[in-house]
A = this chain, B = another copy of it.
Amino acid sequence: MTTRPPWAPQGRRSRVAYLGPPGTYTQEAAARYAPDAEFVPFPTAGHVCAAVESGEVDEAVVPIENSLYGSIVDILDFLITAKRAKIKSEILLPVKHCLMAAPGTRVEDVRAVLSHPQALGQCRGYLAKHLPHAEQVAALSNAAAAAEVKAGTRSGAAAIGPLRAAGIYGLNVLAEGIQDANNNITRFVVLAPEDHPRTGRDRTSLCYDVRDEPGALYKTLGPIARRGINLSKIESRPSGIRLGRYIFLADIDGHRSDPEIAAALEEIRQMTQMMKVLGSYPRAELPEAG
């Protein structure tokens, strides 16, 4: 028996878009969020986001920042300009790379390791120690690497990617958790036409633009600081639209319907030309290790 999530439309499974192909960390995050949904892969972040805007899917899961690599800026830029899509939820997922190969291949048989260059770079220590003589081969994605190993065109090939990719492509896991850094965590957000009702443990993401002049940012943080609202993240980005202006992205603790939060947001709105609430949603906790 599958449990229908409360947000699923009546009469059919919820359709959840994600950045494909199957077997990526984004699909992993989507599966944790909505195990029973129908997952629809899209080739680019732009396509994923457009599918939410058009109503082609009910929700979408996209990566938004990584603890080692920072923000995923094209997603932020989409959110800033989006007409409908709101952040409805967040998901924290530790990046845990696995070495996988066709059944029968042992670590000592591996002659080539395939993956996205970023994943190869994240496993530099493991590869230097355990597979110093294996050739490192770039792939367009971790999932594409697993598919190529599965295809079997290269003997002694192994791929690096998430556990899910091994399951999808029928590969054996030779080693787990082979990444150098253990604080490599990706934050994903769920986009939907509506954000999340208040839970009491919420976070609100907002963005606004300010003039490139002394004290401009400081002034806009006043309404937040004076009310004792916690600011958990702030980031400035040059505005792509108007030169000499900056866009600030901020995460604050609380829900936009909380009276104190609502008052702070209104005050910021009055001091900026553009202010947008990207969504209020429950704060995520890190999942258990393992």
Interface string of A35-78 (1 = CB under 8 A from B): 00000000010000000000000000000001111111110000
Stretch at the interface among A23-31, A101-109, A219-227: A219-227
Asked if A218 is at the interface (CB within 8 A of a chain B CB), the reply is: yes
Contact status B73-A70, CB under 8 Å: yes
Contact status B234-A217, CB under 8 Å: yes
With the chains together, A228 CA to B248 CA distance in Å?
19
> Quick one: which of B44, B213, B229 contacts A230, CB cutoff 8 A?
B213
- Closest chain B CB from A117 CB (angstroms): 5
How many residues from A make CB contacts under 8 Å with B? 49
> Quick one: which of B71, B224, B238 contacts A218, CB cutoff 8 A?
B224
Asked if A11 is at the interface (CB within 8 A of a chain B CB), the reply is: no
**4 more A-B contacts (CB under 8 A) besides A70-B73, A120-B140?**
A68-B74, A138-B139, A218-B218, A218-B231
With the chains together, A232 CA to B248 CA distance in Å?
11
Could you say how many copies of this chain the assembly holds?
Answer: 2
Task: Give the interface of A toward B (CB within 8 A).
Answer: 44, 66-74, 116-117, 120-121, 124, 136, 138-141, 144, 183, 212-215, 217-219, 221-222, 224-238, 240, 246, 248
Residues of B within 8 A of A225 (CB): 214-215, 217-219
With the chains together, A193 CA to B89 CA distance in Å?
45
- Closest chain B CB from A203 CB (angstroms): 13
